[in-house]
Every structure is written in structure tokens, then in C-alpha cells.
Amino acid sequence: MTRMLIIGPPGSGKGTQAARISERLGVVAISTGDIFRDNVKRETPLGVEAKKYMDAGDFVPDSVTNNMVRDRLKADDVQDGFLLDGYPRTAAQVAELDDILAENSSSLDVVLQLTAEDEELVRRLLGRASLDGRSDDNQDVIRHRLRLYHEQTAPVVSQYTERGIVTQVNGIGSIDEVTERVMNALKVAS
């Protein structure tokens, strides 16, 4: 069983690598970003609320996100493991995830951190925005999201580093190159 988190700045390839890791390890990938975007598209009450924050480049409030993750981690398909993508993003969410996992007498096995330089991330995200037509990706919003990542999310890595479960992988390179680095790093971390 593998219970893991993938973390890194916006545009570092988390979603792409999460899908590949999920397939190779046979665990379900849980992306809060995908869940939010699906709700926005369907204009659910959660989606309407989340869209306001996403369009401004802000994080969706913890109260909404925590409840969503708690419900998702109760599903049957996560019993053999999971890969969280996009949560936790803040120190408060780390504590909430600890509580959620403790309810099932479990904890995270590994935190995979993808790394990349900010200017490369801006370039990647602007390219993705033009291809996908994403309203939450323009230069000002991207730079704002990167600042938020450094201010709020980077300390999450410090908490997990203190626990000795962080594995860092360079997220720059072809998708296949990064996947190979990730899988090699996870073998070492096991």
C-alpha cells in the first residue's frame, strides 16, 4: 500500500506525473484541482465559490477543501493507497490531513516534491494557458500563484522534511525523463 503526496509549484508537472505514478503503482490519484475545475464546469455551489478564488489565483478556503478531501479519502477506491495532488497546501491543511489519516490509523508514506525554477514555470503555464484556454492562467495570476506557493506551501515541505518522508525530484525535462527520475527516487524512498 502506498499513501503519498505529490507537491511542487504550479506548472511543475504534478498532474502529469501523478497520473503516471498512479498507473505504475496501481493507486488512485486524487487531484483537488481537477475536482475544483469539474465543479466549476458543472456550476455546482462549490464550483461557483471555488471559481472566485481560482480566477484570482488564490487558494480555495481550507474549510471547503478539507471537507472535500475528508469525503474523498473515505471512498472505497483509496483503501489500497492513494496519491494526493494539490493537498495539503498549507500548514493547517497538514494538521487536518494528519487527523483524517489518523481516523483510519494511517499516515503518509512519502512526499514527492517536484522542483523547478520560477521563470521556467511561468513559461510553461503561459504555454498551457494558450493551449487550454484556462482563465486561471495569465502572467499576473501565475506570478501571484507562485508567490502564494512560496509563502504558504513551501513550509508544508519543511514539516514533511522534519518527518523524513520528502523525496525531491527535478521536474524539468521531458515527461518521460521526469517520470524515470520519479520512479527511481520512489524505489530509493521505499
* Domain-wise residue ranges, the chain: 2-181
Domain 2-181: CATH architecture, name and number where available: 3-Layer(aba) Sandwich (3.40)
CA distance 175 to 156: 25
Indicate the pLDDT class of residue 174, thresholds 50, 70 and 90. very high
Give yes or no: 128 in active site.
Answer: yes
Give yes or no: 89 in active site.
Answer: yes
Catalytic residue, chosen from 51, 72, 89, 124, is: 89
The whole-chain average pLDDT of the chain stands at 89
Picking from 7, 19, 4, 3, the residue whose alpha carbon sits closest to that of residue 91 is: 7
Annotated binding site for AMP: 32, 37, 58-60, 86-89, 93, 134, 145
Q: What phi, psi does 31 have (nearest 5°)? A: -110, 115
What value does the mean pLDDT take over residues 52-71?
82
Give yes or no: 14 in active site.
Answer: yes
Indicate the pLDDT class of residue 102, thresholds 50, 70 and 90. very high
- In tens, the pLDDT along 73-85 reads 888 999 889 999 9
Picking from 149, 179, 190, 141, the residue whose alpha carbon sits closest to that of residue 16 is: 179
pLDDT at 136 over 90: no
CA distance 145 to 138: 10
Residue 1: predicted pLDDT = 67
Give yes or no: 124 in active site.
Answer: no
Q: What's the predicted TM-score (pTM) here?
A: 0.83
